[in-house]
Structure formats: structure tokens, C-alpha cells
Amino acid sequence: MVNLALSADRLIEVSRVVRRGGRLMNATYPAPEPGTYARDDLAMGAIYSAARPGDLDELAARANDGSLPAAIGRRYRLADGPRAYLEFVQEHTRGKLIVAMHA
């Protein structure tokens, strides 16, 4: 799970939905102290970056015009939609999972 918006106090509550042995990456400041989580199986980390003026505007523009790349992890037929969902919730996925309406 990657947190992009929740404050530290709300992140502790949300951490309960991360699967056992999962990872919680936080991009907000300040991050909660590791000892505040009631789980010893949760790997935690912080992601901080230095955006320059205009960087987020450029990112938003690229997302809006379709030029921002989106990695596709797996493709599924519509009949395999339940399997796609199961893999999404039970496995660590990279990229988008695509369920195609037409073959």
C-alpha cells in the first residue's frame, strides 16, 4: 500500500487492511513512528521527493493528455474477471490489470 494523502494518525488506522507480511510506503510528512503500529509483520518505508516548481503541473498535463505511460501487468478475458480480482487483492501486482470486454 502506498499512502499519498492521509495524515499520520489516519494512516495507523488504515494499516490494518494491509495483508500480513505486506508493505506500507508513506509519501506524506510527517510519517508515523514505526512503534505506533500494532503489527510486527508490516514492513514500512517513506518516500520523499523534491518536486520542482511546475513538475506536478507537467505530470497532471501528461495524465490528462494520455502521454503518461501506464504499465500493464496482466491482461484477462472477461470470463477470467473473478481471477483477476482475486489476484489483485491477494497478490502483489505491478502495473495495471486489464480485463478485456472483447477478445
Domain co-membership, 42 together with 83: no
- Cell numbers representing residue 91 in the block: 497478490
pLDDT at 3: 60
Q: For residue 77, what are the domain limits?
A: 67-103
Model-level pTM?
Answer: 0.40
Nearest-angstrom CA–CA distance, 8 and 12: 7
Cis upstream peptide for 82 (omega within 30°): no
Which pLDDT score, from 0 to 100, does residue 86 have? 86
Instruction: Decide if 60 is inside a domain.
Output: no
Q: Do the domain assignments include residue 17?
A: yes
On whether residue 55 sits in a domain, the answer given is no
- Say yes or no: 41 and 80 in one domain: no
How does DSSP classify residue 15? G
Number of folded domains that form the chain: 2
Could you read off the pLDDT of 28-65 as tens digits, one per residue? 777 777 677 777 888 877 776 677 888 878 878 887 88
Q: Is residue 16 part of a domain?
A: yes
Q: Are residues 38 and 9 in the same domain?
A: yes
Q: Which residue has the higher pLDDT, 84 or 2?
A: 84
